[in-house]
C-alpha cells in the first residue's frame, strides 16, 4: 500500500513539474508577435515590389538595435522583426520614399508579462494537484472521469438490510425454495461436508411488481451477509470494454466480502441472446455478457458467492447463462392469488389506520391480476384520498375510489355530456352488464358507471371475480368475447345505429378470438396447431433470419376462422340481450338517473325472471 502511495506521489510531482514547464514556455511566447523568417533582405525585396505601405522603427536608446514593424498594402498581416542596425533600415525606407515612423519601444507591461503567467500557472497546478489527490483517494467527483471500469454496485451489510422474509407476503412457495440458500449462507460447512454444491445462481422470473427485488433483499437480510445490488443497464456503456471491466470489478469486490449475494436487477439488459443484434460479435453488450459467463463459472465451488438476478423477459436470455453451473435454479414469482393478495394488503395496511367498513378480503377479490406493487399503490392512493378529505382513517369508499383511479382512470364528473351521449353510454354499459350477469363463466357485476374516466372511456362495467383461475376454458373465452360485444349490440338494438365507443371492445374480442385459433388450438377446422408469430420477439436480427410459421393461404384461413368466431358470439350475445330487453331498458334508465349503480341494485332488476345459464356455441 505504501509503495502504491509513493508511486502515486511521484506521478503527481512529475505531472506538476511538466505542467509548470508548459505554462512558463507558453507564457514566454504568449504575447510575442515576432517573425523569425522576415528580415532586412525580405523587406528590401517587398519594397522593390511596391507592397509596403509604411514602416515603424522602434530603436533602443543606447544601441542601434531595435524592432521594426512593417505594414503591407496587399492585405498581408503586419510583421515585426528585430534588426541589429535600424539606421540601415531607415536609409532603405527613405530611399524608396515609403512613409516612415520612429517611435519609442513600449515599456514592458508588468501585469501581462509577469503576473498573468504566474496566475495561470498556479491555477493549472491547483487543478492538477486536486485531480491527482482525488485519484489517490479512490473516489470523489474528480476521479469519476477515470473510473469507467469500476463497478457501480451498491453494497449493504447485514446490519443495514432490515428486510426479512416475514415482510414478503403472498410468496410462500417462493420463500420455501430460497430457504436452503439462506441456510447455506449461514452455515456453508454443513453442505460442504457431504459434498453438496449450493446453486451458484438463482434466477427470479415474473411479471413486473411481483416482488422479485424484495425477495432477494429478504434473503440477504435473513442470512445477514453483504448484499451487492446493481442494474443490468449499469454494465453497458458507450465505451468498448467498460462493461466487462465492471463485471470483473464487481466479482472482485464480492470475493473480498464472501459469503455474500450479488443481485442483478433487470438482467435482460445485459444478458440477451447473442447473435440477435445488428452489431456482430464485437457488440459491447455481448462482450459484457461473455465476461459475466466467465465470472459466474470461474470462481471456486464453495467460495460463498451467490448470484441472484431478476427479469420479466426470461425468453430473451442467452441459453449459456441459463445452464446449470451458472443459473442453476429458476424460481417463478407469480402474481398472487386471492389469499396472497389479502396477505399483501394486510402487510401494506400495517401503518395505515383503516375504518371498520374496510373489507380487505373483498378488496382482494376485486383485484384479480394485481401484483404486490399494484396493491401497495392501491392502498397508498386510498390513504391520499382520505388525507384529501381531511380524515385520519381510510374508508371503503377511499379504496373503491382508488381502485377506479388505478385500474380505469379518475372519474371526470365535471365533464359536460349531452343527454344523447349519456343515453348511448347507459345502454352500452347495460349491454355489458346483462351478459356479465347471465353468462355463468364470467362472474357477477360489481359496479356499473356512466361517468367518464381519465383514460377516455365514457363509462365502465366492473365485474367481481369470485375465484382465481389457473386455466381459462374455451367456454370462458367465448363468453368473454360475447361480453366485449355486448355494448355494441345494445347500441344496435336500441338506436338502430352504432358508434365508435366500442372500438376497444372490438379490439379485445378480436385479439381473444385470434389467440384461440393461433395459440391455443381451439379451432376444429384448423386443428391443434400453433400458428402464433410470437409478436413479443423484439430482435431485428432474429426476425430477419426466421421465416413465417405458416403460408399466406393459412393466414387467410386464420382470418376466416377468427371472423367466424366473432360472428357466432355476436349472434348469441344479441339473442341473450333481446331476451332480457326489459332489463336493458330499466338498467339504462337507472344509470341515467344515478350515473353509478352497484351489484345489489342491478341484480334486483332481474327479480321474477328465469336466468338461462346454459349457453352453448359450436365453434
Residues serving a catalytic function are 429
φ/ψ (deg, to 5) at 225: -115, 160
Answer positive or negative: Cα dihedral of 605, 608, 614, 617.
Answer: negative
- Rounded CA-CA distance 319/331 in Å is 16
* Burial class of residue 270, CB neighbours in 10 A (0-12, 13-18, 19+): buried
Residue 505 marked ligand-binding: yes
* Burial class of residue 43, CB neighbours in 10 A (0-12, 13-18, 19+): buried
Nearest to 448 by CA among 238, 550, 591: 591
- Rounded CA-CA distance 31/23 in Å is 13
φ/ψ (deg, to 5) at 57: -110, 130
Helix (H, G, I), strand (E, B) or coil at 309: strand
Residue 428 marked ligand-binding: yes
Q: Pairing relation of β-strands 445-449 and 596-598?
A: antiparallel
- Rounded CA-CA distance 276/538 in Å is 9
User: Which residues partner with 527 through β-bridges?
Assistant: none
Residue 330 marked ligand-binding: no
Q: What is the H or E stretch that residue 67 is in?
A: strand 66-72
Q: 239 and 285 in contact (C-beta within 8 Å)?
A: no
Residue 432 marked ligand-binding: yes
Residue 425 marked ligand-binding: no
Q: 517 and 523 in contact (C-beta within 8 Å)?
A: yes
What the block records as the C-alpha cell of 323 is 445452464
Answer positive or negative: Cα dihedral of 68, 69, 71, 75.
Answer: positive
Residue 282 marked ligand-binding: no
- Rounded CA-CA distance 89/361 in Å is 107
Nearest to 134 by CA among 52, 12, 23, 229: 12
The residue written with cell numbers 463485471 in the block is 247
What are the start-end ranges of the H helices in 98-241?
Answer: 110, 116-137, 172-186, 189-192, 212-223
> Which are the contacts of 519, defined by CB distance < 8 A and separation ≥ 6?
530, 532
- Rounded CA-CA distance 85/62 in Å is 12
Neighbours of 494 (CB within 10 A): 20
What the block records as the C-alpha cell of 414 is 365535471
Residue 212 marked ligand-binding: yes
Q: If you ran DSSP here, which 8-state letter would residue 108 be given?
A: P
What the block records as the C-alpha cell of 126 is 491547483
How does DSSP assign 267-297, residue by residue?
A: GGGT-BPTT-SSSGGG-HHHHHHHHHHHHHT
Residue 320 marked ligand-binding: no
User: Which residues partner with 332 through β-bridges?
Assistant: 205
Q: What is the H or E stretch that residue 10 is in?
A: helix 2-30
Binding-site positions read 206-213, 428, 432, 505
- Residues belonging to the binding site for Zn(2+) are 428, 432, 505
Residues flagged as binding site for ATP: 206-213
Amino acid at each position: 500500500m505504501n509503495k502504491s502511495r509513493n508511486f502515486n506521489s511521484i506521478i503527481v510531482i512529475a505531472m506538476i513539474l511538466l505542467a509548470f514547464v508548459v505554462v512558463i514556455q507558453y507564457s514566454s511566447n504568449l504575447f510575442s508577435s515576432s517573425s523569425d523568417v522576415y528580415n532586412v533582405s525580405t523587406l528590401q525585396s517587398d519594397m522593390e515590389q511596391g507592397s509596403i505601405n509604411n514602416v515603424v522603427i522602434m530603436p533602443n536608446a543606447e544601441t542601434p538595435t531595435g524592432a521594426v514593424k512593417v505594414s503591407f498594402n496587399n492585405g498581408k498581416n503586419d510583421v515585426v522583426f528585430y534588426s541589429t542596425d535600424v539606421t540601415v533600415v531607415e536609409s532603405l525606407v527613405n530611399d524608396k520614399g515609403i512613409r516612415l515612423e520612429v517611435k519609442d519601444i513600449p515599456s514592458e507591461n508588468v501585469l501581462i508579462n509577469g503576473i498573468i503567467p504566474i496566475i495561470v500557472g498556479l491555477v493549472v497546478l491547483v487543478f492538477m494537484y486536486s485531480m491527482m489527490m482525488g485519484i489517490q483517494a479512490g473516489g470523489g467527483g474528480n476521479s469519476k472521469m477515470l473510473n469507467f471500469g469500476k463497478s457501480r454496485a451498491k453494497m449493504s451489510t447485514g446490519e443495514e438490510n432490515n428486510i426479512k422474509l416475514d415482510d414478503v407476503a403472498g410468496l410462500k412457495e417462493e420463500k420455501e425454495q430460497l430457504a436452503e440458500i439462506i441456510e447455506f449462507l449461514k452455515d456453508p460447512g454443513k453442505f460442504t461436508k457431504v459434498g453438496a454444491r449450493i446453486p451458484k445462481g438463482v434466477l427470479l422470473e415474473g411479471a413486473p411488481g411481483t416482488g422479485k427485488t424484495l425477495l432477494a433483499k429478504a434473503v440477504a437480510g435473513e442470512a445477514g451477509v453483504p448484499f451487492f445490488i446493481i442494474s443490468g443497464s449499469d454494465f453497458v456503456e458507450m465505451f468498448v470494454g467498460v462493461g466487462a471491466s465492471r463485471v470483473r470489478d464487481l466479482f472482485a469486490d464480492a470475493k473480498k466480502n464472501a459469503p455474500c449475494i450479488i443481485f442483478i436487477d433487470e438482467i435482460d439488459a445485459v444478458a440477451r441472446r447473442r447473435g440477435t443484434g445488428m452489431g456482430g460479435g464485437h457488440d459491447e453488450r455481448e462482450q459484457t455478457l461473455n465476461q459475466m459467463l466467465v465470472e459466474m463459472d470461474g470462481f471456486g465451488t464453495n467460495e460463498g458467492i451467490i448470484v441472484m438476478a431478476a427479469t420479466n423477459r426470461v425468453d430473451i436470455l442467452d441459453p449459456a447463462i441459463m445452464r446449470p453451473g451458472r443459473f442453476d435454479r429458476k424460481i417463478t414469482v407469480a402474481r398472487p392469488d386471492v389469499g396472497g393478495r389479502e396477505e399483501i394488503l394486510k402487510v401494506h395496511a400495517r401503518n395505515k389506520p383503516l375504518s371498520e367498513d374496510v373489507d380487505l378480503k373483498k378488496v382482494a377479490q376485486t383485484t384479480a391480476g394485481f401484483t404486490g406493487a399494484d396493491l401497495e399503490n392501491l392502498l397508498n392512493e386510498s390513504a391520499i384520498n382520505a388525507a384529501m378529505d381531511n380524515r385520519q382513517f381510510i374508508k371503503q369508499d377511499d379504496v373503491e375510489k382508488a381502485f377506479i383511479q388505478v385500474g380505469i382512470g379518475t372519474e371526470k364528473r365535471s365533464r359536460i355530456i349531452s343527454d344523447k351521449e349519456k343515453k348511448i353510454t347507459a345502454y352500452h354499459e347495460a349491454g355489458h352488464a346483462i351478459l356479465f350477469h347471465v353468462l355463468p363463466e364470467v362472474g357477477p357485476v360489481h359496479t356499473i358507471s356512466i361517468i367518464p374516466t381519465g383514460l377516455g372511456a365514457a363509462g365502465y362495467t366492473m365485474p367481481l371475480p369470485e375465484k382465481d383461475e389457473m386455466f381459462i376454458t374455451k367456454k370462458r373465452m367465448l363468453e368473454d368475447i360475447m361480453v366485449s360485444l355486448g355494448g355494441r349490440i345494445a347500441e344496435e338494438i336500441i338506436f338502430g345505429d352504432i358508434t365508435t365507443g366500442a372500438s376497444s371492445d372490438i379490439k379485445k374480442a378480436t385479439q381473444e378470438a385470434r389467440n384461440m385459433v393461433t395459440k391455443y388450438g381451439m379451432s376444429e377446422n384448423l386443428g391443434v396447431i400453433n400458428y402464433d408469430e410470437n409478436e413479443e420477439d423484439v430482435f431485428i436480427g432474429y426476425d430477419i433470419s426466421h421465416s413465417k410459421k405458416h403460408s399466406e393461404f393459412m393466414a387467410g384461413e386464420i382470418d376466416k376462422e377468427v371472423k367466424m368466431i366473432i360472428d357466432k358470439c355476436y349472434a348469441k350475445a344479441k339473442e341473450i340481450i333481446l331476451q332480457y330487453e326489459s332489463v336493458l331498458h330499466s338498467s339504462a334508465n337507472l344509470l341515467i338517473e344515478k350515473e353509478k349503480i352497484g351489484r345489489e341494485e342491478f341484480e334486483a332488476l332481474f327479480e321474477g325472471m328465469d336466468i338461462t345459464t346454459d349457453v352453448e356455441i359450436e365453434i
